[in-house]
Amino acid sequence: MTMPFAVLLAALALAATAPAAPLAAQQGETFQSEQASFRLERVAGPLEHPWGLAFLPDGSMLVTERPGRLRLATPQGRLSEPLKGLPRIDSGGQGGLLDVATAPDFAQSRRVYISYTEPGQGGVNGTAIAHGRLSDDGTALEQVTVIFQQMPKFSGGHHFGSRLAFAPDGTLFATLGERNSQREKAQDLSTHLGKIVRINPDGSVPKDNPFVGRGDARPEIYSYGHRNPQGLTIHPETGQLWEHEHGARGGDEINLPQPGRNYGWPVISYGVHYSGAKIGQGQERQGMEQPIHYWDPSIAPSGMAFYNGDKFPGWKGDLFVGALVQTHLARLEVEGTRIVREERLLEDWGERIRDVRAGPDGALYLLNDHPDAAIWRLVPAE
């Protein structure tokens, strides 16, 4: 007889190392937002450069570590040993084990999706997506299958993109960077570089993708002209896809990707190259889409989530984005498809924020990017 998953997680928790007490709680610190007062609690750690977080139906979490580990964390903050069964992962630079998502039917299928840097022959690599079944005892991914491989592969350790998001119709969106050295290929439809792709849960191509049937284009492509997208989410009410991406020196963008549209990189940008040189042709060009919001100077955005819970009524409908370089959490007030106000939270914390997720318990969860990092949550101040 198979032991219930929640019981097995509890057993794992007893064998795992307990996390340190919440830092903010030790200090008795309360943070003040324009719309809420909150505390920052450390949930589970230590984690080495965690990258992606996904919630399971019982409130436990799957969390990735960039060096190539996938772990389970209980709501009480206990971490499992790394799960077995993952595919080969090329960890180095910005690459490694990146995002994680659960299938919409996880409660029945127990299927988990991961994005990661896949090694190739001759020192090349590229973003790939695989899925597997989370074992009944919660210790492994079983029946792991690679369902997507970014083509072509290149050498290097930068700009893998790699966020995952399931659409309301069950298709899977994934972001793919242009590998930095291959920036011109973001405009080349014969490659996956600098694109958002849309695939079915088994990796096949949806028949209504915009470039299906074109001999000069990869059929998985949904939109193109992207630089290094590390934020992707679905609006909880409209079902619209929202995406953000890194600019160079300035020009980080939020876009609302539409099928077949060109988002401009590296022809147009609101930033400049790191050398200070002009990028492409300026900020606008006919046939290329404009962002709905941009940052200059760059904040280096990573992670993206709409808040729709009940613990923070003043934040309902707001969009939250992590910042790596400027080390804060951006709270963006949204009206329709416009960003009308921005507030910067946790600036004094001084941590690179890699991912942001809205939890099923109504709290807001963060991953900080550090060799000794953790899962954190924002809860109302009492």
Q: pLDDT of 30-85, one tens digit each?
A: 899 999 999 999 999 999 999 999 999 999 999 999 999 999 999 999 999 999 99
Q: Where are the alpha helices (DSSP H) in the chain?
A: 5-15, 23-27, 106-109
**186 pLDDT higher than 80:** yes
Question: Any catalytic annotation for residue 192?
Answer: no
CA 11 to chain CA mean position, Å = 29
Dump pLDDT digits (tens) for 234-269.
999 999 999 999 999 999 999 999 999 999 999 999
Instruction: Please state the pTM of the whole predicted model.
Output: 0.92
Cα 259 from Cα 327, distance rounded (Å): 33
Tokens of 1: 């007889």
133, pLDDT greater than 70:
yes
Domains of the chain: 5-380 (2.120.10.30)
Task: Exactly one of 49, 131, 159, 328 is catalytic; name it.
Answer: 159
* pLDDT, tens digit (0-9, with 9 covering 90-100), for 2-22: 444 443 444 333 333 333 434
Sorted by sequence, the CB contacts under 8 Å of residue 103 that are 6+ apart come out as: 109, 111, 112, 113, 131, 166, 201
What's the whole-number mean pLDDT along residues 94-117? 98
- What's the pLDDT tens digit per position in 278-306? 999 999 999 999 999 999 999 999 999 99
Q: Which residues contact 119 (CB under 8 A, 6 or more apart)?
A: 88, 89, 90, 125
Q: Is residue 225 scored above 90 in pLDDT?
A: yes
